[in-house]
Amino acid sequence: MSRIGKKAVEVPKGVTTTIDGQIVTAKGPKGQLEVALVDEVSVAMTDDGIKVDPRDETKRARSMWGMSRTLVQNIVTGVSDGFEKRLEISGVGYRAQAQGKTLNLALGYSHEVNFDIPDGIEVQTPKPTEVVVSGIDKQKVGQVAAEIRRWRPPEPYKGKGVKYVDEYVFRKEGKKK
């Protein structure tokens, strides 16, 4: 049995949710999101919040149960609080600067990398070595952060590159004479 799936999704104040068949829509102060759930699960509104249950005891229904509940939780959290990922840039001369809908990155290449920011995502650079990606869609925020990191992942010898703030980079010892 899914431990996550058993819990109901609490709907905070200021957020309204509607269920239309397998489509759950959440509307809050930050915007509106919707998710279409698979047919193997049933979704219903209860006093506790939104309850997701498997329709039968097949392996696929039980597999989709917890994931579907988490998708509903993500849209409710997104429209009320939003999500953010923080990236840290380390290396001599490595820096970032947000200009409108473009993020300019100097990552040791012969040219600057201009990253176009998609709609629904906000990118800020409080310091030249810090990038904050935020938005209401958790999947989009994570994808944009991963695409920025992909330009120069952290290397194991000096730790130079773009890494998540909470990421641990395993460091290797260099050559010995």
For residue 106, the Cα-to-chain-centroid distance in whole angstroms is 24
Q: What pLDDT is attached to residue 84?
A: 95
Q: What pLDDT is attached to residue 17?
A: 93
- The letter for the amino acid at 37 is L
Q: What pLDDT is attached to residue 174?
A: 85
Identical fold for domains 3-80 and 83-164, yes or no, is: yes
Q: Give one DSSP letter per residue of the chain, joined into a string.
A: --HHHHSPBP--TT-EEEEETTEEEEEETTEEEEEEPPTTEEEEE-SSSEEEEESSS-HHHHHHHHHHHHHHHHHHHHHHT-EEEEEEEESTT-EEEEETTEEEEE-SSSS-EEEEPPTTEEEEEEETTEEEEEES-HHHHHHHHHHHHHTSPPPTTT--EEEETTPPPPP------
Give the residue among 118, 112, 125, 122 at the shortest CA–CA distance from 151.
112
Residue 117 dihedral angles phi and psi, to the nearest 5°: -85, 125
Neighbours of 67 (CB within 10 A): 16
* pTM score of the predicted model: 0.88
- The full set of domain ranges for the chain reads 3-80, 83-164
- The domain defined by 3-80 carries CATH number 2.40.50.100: no
Burial label, 96 (beta-carbon count in 10 A; 0-12, 13-18, 19+): buried
Query: In this structure, are residues 52 and 43 in contact, taking their beta carbons and an 8 Å threshold?
Result: yes
Residues sharing a CB contact under 8 Å with residue 29, sequence separation 6 or more, in sequence order: 14, 79, 80
pLDDT in tens, the chain (177 residues): 668 888 999 999 999 999 999 999 999 999 999 999 999 999 999 988 999 999 999 999 988 999 999 999 999 999 999 999 999 999 999 999 999 899 999 999 999 999 999 999 999 999 999 999 999 999 999 999 999 999 999 999 998 999 999 999 999 998 887
Q: Which CATH number fits domain 83-164: 3.30.365.10, 3.40.50.720, 3.80.10.10, 3.90.930.12?
A: 3.90.930.12
How far apart, in whole angstroms, are the C-alpha atoms of residue 149 and residue 134? 15
Q: What pLDDT is attached to residue 1?
A: 65
